[in-house]
Amino acid sequence: MIPYSLLMSMVALVALAVGAPAPEFEAVAQDGRKVTLAELRKEGPVVLVFLRGFS
């Protein structure tokens, strides 16, 4: 088990802030097409929702 304080510092290291560049990504969507953030934002702003969940 990782100590809580260490875990929180790991989270803090990767947390993003307003104004920072959004990490680029390439992924396969639910319909099988390949999407990239760069392509999506050509159309306009992108709202990225990360669902809560169990994994």
Partner 1 sequence: MKKDLREFESRKATIAVVAPHSADKVAAYWKEEGLPMIGLPDPEGTLSERYGQEWKFWKLGRMPALFVVDREGALAFVQYGSSMSDIPENGVLLKVLDGLKGS
Residue type, 6: L
Residue 6 interacts with partner 1 (CB under 8 A): yes or no:
no
Residue type, 19: G
Among 5, 6, 9, 47, binds partner 1 (CB under 8 A): 47
The span from the CA of 50 to the CA of 55, in Å, is 13
Cβ–Cβ contacts within 10 Å for residue 5, how many? 8
Q: Is 3 in the site for partner 1 (CB under 8 A)?
A: no
Under the binding rule (CB under 8 A), the answer on residue 25 touching partner 1 is yes
For partner 1, the binding residues (CB under 8 A) are 1, 7, 11, 14-25, 27-32, 35, 37-38, 40-55
